[in-house]
Amino acid sequence: MINLLYLAVAMAGGLALSRLMKLLNLPNVTGYLIAGIIVGPYVLNIINKESIESLKIITSTALGFIAFSIGGEFKLTYLKKLGKSIVIITIVQAVITVLLVMAAMLLIPGERAIRIPRALLLGAIAAATAPAATLLVVRQYKARGPVTDTLLPVTAFDDAVGLMIFSVCFALAEVFAAGSALTVQAVLINPLREICLSLLVGGVLGAILALLMKFFHSNANRLCLILAAVFACVALSEIWGLSSLLTCMMLGAVLANMRRDAINILQLSDDWTPGLFMLFFVLSGAELDFSILATVGLAGIVYIAARSLGKYGGAYLGSAISKADPNVRKYLGITLLPQAGVAIGMAQMVAGSSDLAIVAPQVVTVALFATLIYELVGPVLTKIALTKAGEIQKSSKPAKQKANKTV
C-alpha cells in the first residue's frame, strides 16, 4: 500500500509542475522530471531508492507503450510518400550524431571498462529526438513550410533508426563492460540475433493482435487487447533477453499496417497512457543523482556539445546530399535538438542491465541531465529556427492546444 501512496505523491507533484511549465510555455515532460528530482531521494527523499526500485515495473511498462506508439507511426503507405530525401536526411544525421558523440566520449579519461561502454551507450542515445516537443511547437504556432514538412517525418523516423542503433550498441557495451573477449559471436551475431528475434516476436504478436481486433469491436475490449499485447511483449523480452523497445515498436508497426482502422485503435492507447507516462518521467527524474552529476559534469557538457554539433552538421549534410530546400539545410538541425521520452527509455534500459552496473549511473545521469537542458532550450530554439525560416509569422498568436503528449 505504501507504493500507492508514493505513486499519488509522484502524480501530484507532476501535475503541479506541469501547470508551472504551461505558464512558462515549456513541455510538460520538463515539469515531470523536475517534480521527480524534488520528491526523489536526493532532494526531499519523499520517494526513496528502495521505492523507486520496487516501482520498476511502471518504467518497463511505460517504455513498452512509448515504443508501441512510435511503431504505430510507420504505415508503409505513409513511408512511401516521404520520399528518399527524408530517409537520407534521417539516416545521415543519426549516424553522424552517434559517431561524433562516441568519438567525443572516448576522449574523456577513464578506465576501459567504463569509457568504451559509456561512449557506445551515450552515442546511441544521442540519436533519439523528441517528436512530441517538436510537434507542440509546430501546432502551437501553426508553422508551415519546407522545414516543417521535413521536420515532422524526420523526428518520427529518427527514433526508429535510433532504436536499431541502440540495440547494437547496447549488446556491444555489455561485452566491453564485462571484459569479455571480442568475438564475432559477441560483436555481430548476438546483436543481430537480438534485433531479429525482437522484431520477429513483435511482428507475430502484432499480427495476432490485428486478427483479434476482427472479433472485438468495443473500445473497452480493444483497449484490453492492446494492454495484453504490450504486457506480453515486455514480459517475453525480459524472459528471452530481447529488446522490449524494438519488440513493442514492431507490435505497433504491424498493427498499423494490418488494420485500416489502426488510427482509431492506436488512439485508444494514446487516451490511456498520459498518466503512465507522467509516472515514468517523474520516477526517471527521481533517479537523477546530483552527487554523480558532479563527477561526470565534463561528460554531460561534452555530450550536449557533441550531440548538438552532430544533429546540426548531420542534418545539413543530409539535406545537401538530398538537394533539399536551402532553409532546410540551414535550420533543420536546430529543430532536431529536443530530446525526451525515447532517450530516457534507453537510459532506463541501461539501468536495468546487471552487466552494465559499473557504467549505468553515469549514463543515466548524463542522459537525464541532457534531457532537462534540451527540453528547456530545445523548443525555444525550434521556434526561433522556424521563425527565421519564415514558417512562423512573428505577429501570429499561438494557437490553443487541444492536447499535449509527453512522449
Q: For residue 353, what are the contacts with CB-CB under 8 A and spacing of at least 6?
A: 170, 174, 360
Please give the pLDDT value at position 404. 44
Give pLDDT tens digits for 81-104. 667 788 888 889 999 999 999 999
How far is residue 400 from each of residues 23, 138, 140, measured CA to CA in Å?
13, 12, 7
**Residue 226 clears pLDDT 90, i.e. is over it:** yes
- Phi/psi of residue 406, each to 5°? -115, 5
Buried b (16+ CB within 10 A) or exposed e, 162-196: bbbbbbbbbbbbbbbbeeeeeeeebbeebbeebbe
- Band of residue 203 on the pLDDT scale cut at 50, 70, 90: very high
Give pLDDT tens digits for 263-296. 888 888 888 888 887 888 788 778 776 666 666 6
Task: Give the N- to C-terminal CA distance of the chain in Å, as an integer.
Answer: 28
**Extents of the domains making up the chain:** 58-262+295-388
**Residue 161 clears pLDDT 60, i.e. is over it:** yes
Choose between 181 and 239: higher pLDDT.
Answer: 239
- What mean pLDDT is predicted for residues 184-212? 85
- Dist CA 165 CA 181 (whole Å): 21
**Residue 1 clears pLDDT 60, i.e. is over it:** no
Query: Percentage of residues in the chain with pLDDT exceeding 70?
Result: 86
Query: Percentage of residues in the chain with pLDDT exceeding 90?
Result: 16
- Band of residue 204 on the pLDDT scale cut at 50, 70, 90: very high
- What mean pLDDT is predicted for residues 322-334? 85
CATH domain 58-262+295-388 topology: Na+/H+ antiporter like fold (1.20.1530)
- Dist CA 174 CA 325 (whole Å): 42
- What mean pLDDT is predicted for residues 236-262? 87
Ranges 129-133, 203-207, 278-282, most confident: 203-207
